[in-house]
């Protein structure tokens, strides 16, 4: 996230404990709760002291294996579950202080959510499902249906408006889920493992589709997944969760270059370096030689490698067009061979 971006959603010291007497327990122990104390109190620490800042227009991926607390965390962020402690700031305002009516209003206009198992309403057609969030707001039928048709077209389901969910394939159903969550033009878009229930080939297609949509829409996105490859592919930044705690937050590159723990390293080890490392992270200081071509520092190695010829030196430039360093084809080869971590 670059510094000038506004923070859309912030999460400060959020806890979610399951069990009896969890609030008293937490106020007694403060933030220094260890596993032993939790166990003795008979509590389960689903989310523990999580602090996150999610910037406007960012794709923020929360990645963790099952039981890591990622689903609970996203439900705290959307206040589907009441956190035991902590603050959630949405556009700078405390979401947890919002009353029922305010919360309903926020959800109606500013949030959208996509679910792992689609959560489509079986008694409504595709059109009815997509128009549903507008229907509960009381938007007139003609208007909400024309709006729904537009979004259905956007996700590529034109012509299936009158189908019922069970008449569609899994991938198509999730397109409906995505269309439905976009119907109210939300500022904040939650996706809870949206592609996990799909076959690998369809999953890849849907990821591409998702990126295409985001290029058009520029939403602020909180994306949950248990698939690290998916996280790397889609994320601007990733938060890795384990046992209810966030153990590292960073760009894909940062995680690969400097995993905070062995646990993170286990995920990053098998990731091909060329897919995450940028030219900026492997460049050497500029020697002001004659440059064959200029590349942006944010370009990923794997994406530009074919344009490198042996014997030439290439310039790396920053956003302002100033030369900040240089690379040669040999530098790239080192990355592909796995000899360099940046």
Partner 1 sequence: MASDRVARSPWRWFWSGALVVSFGLYYLAGELLPRAATRYPAAWRIPLKDDISAFMNWLIEDATLGLVTFKEFTRGIAWVLEQPLNLATSLFATGFLSGVGSNAEQILPPLSWVAVIAVVYLMGRYARDVKLALLVAGCFGYLALFGQWHSAMVTLSSIVIAVPFGVAGGLLLGIAGYRWRAFERAITPVLDLMQTIPIFAYLVPILFLFGFGPVAAMIGTIIYAMPPMVRVTMLALRSVPDEVVEFGRMAGCTRRQLTWKVLVPSASSGLMVGVNQVIMLSLNMVIIASMIGAGGLGYDVLTSLRRLDIGAGIEAGVAIVVLAIALDRLSQAYAARTPTGRAGGETSLVKRHPWTLLALGIVVAAYLGGLLFAALAEFPQAWQITTGPFWTALVKWVNVNFYDTLEAVKAALLINVLVPVKRFLLAMPWAWVIFLVAAAGWWLGGWRLSLLTAALSTFILVTGQWADAMVTVYLTGISVVIAALIGIPVGIAAAGNDRAWRVVQACIDTLQTLPSFVYLIPVVMLFRVGDFSAMIAIVAYAVAPAIRYTAHGIRYVPTELVEAGIVSGCTPRQLLFKIRLPLAMPEIMLGINQTIMLALSMLVITALVGTRDLGQEVYIALTKADTGRGIVAGLSVAFIAIIADRLIAAGSNRVRRRLGLQ
Binding site for partner 1 (CB under 8 A): 75, 78, 80, 104-109, 111-113, 115-119, 121-125, 132-133, 135-137, 161-164, 166-167, 181, 190
In the complex, minimum distance from the CB of residue 160 to partner 1, in angstroms, rounded to a whole number: 9
If the CB atoms of residues 184 and 232 are measured against partner 1, the closer one turns out to be 184
In the complex, minimum distance from the CB of residue 149 to partner 1, in angstroms, rounded to a whole number: 10
If the CB atoms of residues 181 and 328 are measured against partner 1, the closer one turns out to be 181
If the CB atoms of residues 65 and 80 are measured against partner 1, the closer one turns out to be 80
In the complex, minimum distance from the CB of residue 126 to partner 1, in angstroms, rounded to a whole number: 9
If the CB atoms of residues 25 and 190 are measured against partner 1, the closer one turns out to be 190
In the complex, minimum distance from the CB of residue 215 to partner 1, in angstroms, rounded to a whole number: 24
In the complex, minimum distance from the CB of residue 15 to partner 1, in angstroms, rounded to a whole number: 21
If the CB atoms of residues 95 and 327 are measured against partner 1, the closer one turns out to be 95
Spell out the residues 6+ positions from residue 75 whose beta carbon is closer than 8 angstroms to its own: 81
User: 179: closest CA among 211, 198, 154, 205?
Assistant: 154
If the CB atoms of residues 78 and 281 are measured against partner 1, the closer one turns out to be 78
For strands 59-63 and 237-242, give the pairing: parallel
In the complex, minimum distance from the CB of residue 116 to partner 1, in angstroms, rounded to a whole number: 7
């Amino acid at each position: 996230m670059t510094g000038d971006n506004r923070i859309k959603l912030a999460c400060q010291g959020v806890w979610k404990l399951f069990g009896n007497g969890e609030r008293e327990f937490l106020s007694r122990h403060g933030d220094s709760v260890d596993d032993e104390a939790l166990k003795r109190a008979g509590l389960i620490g689903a989310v523990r002291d999580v602090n996150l800042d999610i910037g406007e227009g960012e794709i923020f991926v929360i990645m963790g294996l099952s039981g890591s607390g990622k689903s609970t965390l996203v439900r705290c962020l959307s206040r589907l579950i009441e956190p035991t402690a902590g603050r959630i700031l949405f556009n700078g305002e405390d979401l947890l202080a919002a009353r029922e009516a305010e919360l309903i209003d926020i959800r109606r206009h500013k949030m959208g959510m996509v679910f792992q198992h689609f959560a489509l309403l079986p008694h409504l057609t595709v059109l009815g499902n997509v128009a549903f969030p507008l229907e509960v707001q009381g938007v007139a039928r003609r208007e909400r249906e024309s709006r729904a048709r537009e979004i259905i077209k956007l996700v590529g389901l034109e012509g299936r408006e009158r189908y019922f969910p069970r008449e569609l394939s899994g991938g198509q159903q999730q397109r409906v889920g995505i269309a439905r969550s976009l119907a109210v033009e939300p500022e904040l878009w939650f996706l809870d493992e949206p592609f996990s229930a799909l076959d690998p080939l369809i999953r890849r297609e849907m990821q591409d589709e998702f990126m295409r949509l985001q290029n058009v829409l520029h939403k602020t996105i909180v994306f949950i997944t248990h698939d690290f490859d998916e996280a790397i592919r889609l994320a601007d930044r990733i938060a890795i969760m384990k046992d209810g705690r966030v153990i590292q937050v960073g760009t894909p590159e940062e995680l690969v270059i400097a995993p905070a723990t062995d646990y993170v390293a286990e995920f990053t080890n098998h990731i091909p370096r060329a897919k995450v490392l940028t030219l900026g992270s492997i460049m050497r200081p500029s020697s002001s030689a004659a440059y064959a071509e200029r590349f942006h520092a944010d370009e990923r190695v794997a994406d530009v490698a074919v344009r490198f010829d042996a014997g030439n030196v290439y310039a790396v430039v920053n956003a302002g067009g100033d030369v900040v360093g240089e690379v040669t084809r040999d530098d790239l080869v080192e990355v592909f061979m796995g000899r360099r971590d940046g």
